[in-house]
Amino acid sequence: MSTFGVYIHVPFCATRCGYCDFNTYTPGELGSDSSPEAYLSALATELRLSAAATSHRRVDTVFVGGGTPSLLGAEKLGSILQMIRDHYELAEDAEITTESNPESTSASYFEQLRAAGFTRVSLGMQSASEKVLATLDRTHTPGRAARAAEQARAAGFEHVNLDMIYGTPGESDDDVRLTLETVLGAGVDHVSAYALIVEPNTKMGRLVRTGQLPAPDDDVMARRYELIAHSLEAAGFDWYEVSNWARPGGECRHNIGYWTDADFWGAGPGAHSHLGDRRFFNVKHPRTYYQRLGQGELPIQESEQLSAAERHTEKVMLGLRLREGIALDTLGPSAAPMIERYVERQLLSVDKHRLTLSDQGRLLADGIIADLLLAEEGH
């Protein structure tokens, strides 16, 4: 049987970052619906119902994300993990991750998490530059993320991730170098680096649209990615997905499940799930989420049955972003000329009947994948 993951969405944030378009809410936006107790009660009901719906499958990975899970505190995060144990079989070697905002953590927080059974922590660093953090509306001070990573390691976490964002308006190459130096100095075993995406319905989107901030530049983004990749790989990190690097054994198993078509259940407001050919997601607003579960029903808003063609498209889109790529025969014969063209340009490689992105190809991954899928369809 394939691996199975559980994702828990915590929808609470202290403030809203200007670039964020996730399903999150501040206390002022939620009012009485911001109660952690109401959330945890509803979550317990969903996990009970979801376990029954999935025949109490063994859980190989757990990922608590958000939002800002650390706002709940270590004790409540531990209670979420206990809920999963109560209703599912948790594998002995399960990877159990929580995201945390550096500002809402402490040495004792990490010690309590480790004692509760968490095995991995992912910290939102974004940048070590004060001006970049200000543009992103991040509230933590530049050095806090690295200090939090050190505290997590001291508490016994072998696996600690720091998230970076690159391409923020006003960011310089030196800002990225400073962030990389800080990341490498923190002793973590995993780094995620994401190009800034300016979502239209955000504060940053409005500022870019009105000309108050410049839009990210594709050439600058490519140069920054090369700088990040070179620095991390020279320091002993291997890329295993276009935006993710790890030291040996530090790869995020939960996210690998997403990229390799494994099943997972997403619990919490707006969380997405994937079971075989079925994909579905929950109602987004916490109030509606609480109401539905209070009536004893799963809070699913929409569900779709994926066709064989849709699953194939996802397999190519996600699989080719991984270091091991995809089997060459995953793509139909119509794609052969396009594959050959990209191999000649040294953007794709073929080795032992596997198709993988070259280092330069990683810079153009989305466009290459789109071209291959179009060629396969005969366009």
CATH code of the domain in which 61 resides: 3.20.20.70
Task: Give pLDDT, residue 223.
Answer: 95
**Interaxial angle between packed helices 36-53 and 286-294, expressed in degrees from 0 to 180 and rounded to the nearest 10:** 60
Under 8 Å between Cβ of 167 and 194 = no
Q: Which two tokens stand for residue 295?
A: 């009536």
In a domain, 316, yes or no: yes
**Tokens 């960011």 -> residue:** 171
Same domain? For 187 and 328 the reply is: no
Task: Give pLDDT, residue 77.
Answer: 98
Domain that holds residue 333: 309-376
Parallel/antiparallel/unpaired status of strands 120-126 and 4-10: unpaired
Dist CA 17 CA 24 (whole Å): 10
Task: Give pLDDT, residue 15.
Answer: 83
In a domain, 302, yes or no: no
Please give the span between the terminal C-alpha atoms of the chain, in angstroms, as a whole number. Answer: 37
CATH code at 369? 1.10.10
In a domain, 342, yes or no: yes
**Interaxial angle between packed helices 36-53 and 74-87, expressed in degrees from 0 to 180 and rounded to the nearest 10:** 20
Dist CA 229 CA 68 (whole Å): 28
In a domain, 154, yes or no: yes
Same domain? For 142 and 255 the reply is: yes
Q: Residue ranges of the chain with pLDDT lower than 50?
A: none
Last residue within a domain, chosen from 238, 259, 280: 259
Dist CA 161 CA 138 (whole Å): 18
Under 8 Å between Cβ of 8 and 62 = yes
Same domain? For 213 and 344 the reply is: no
Counting the structural domains of the chain, the total is: 2
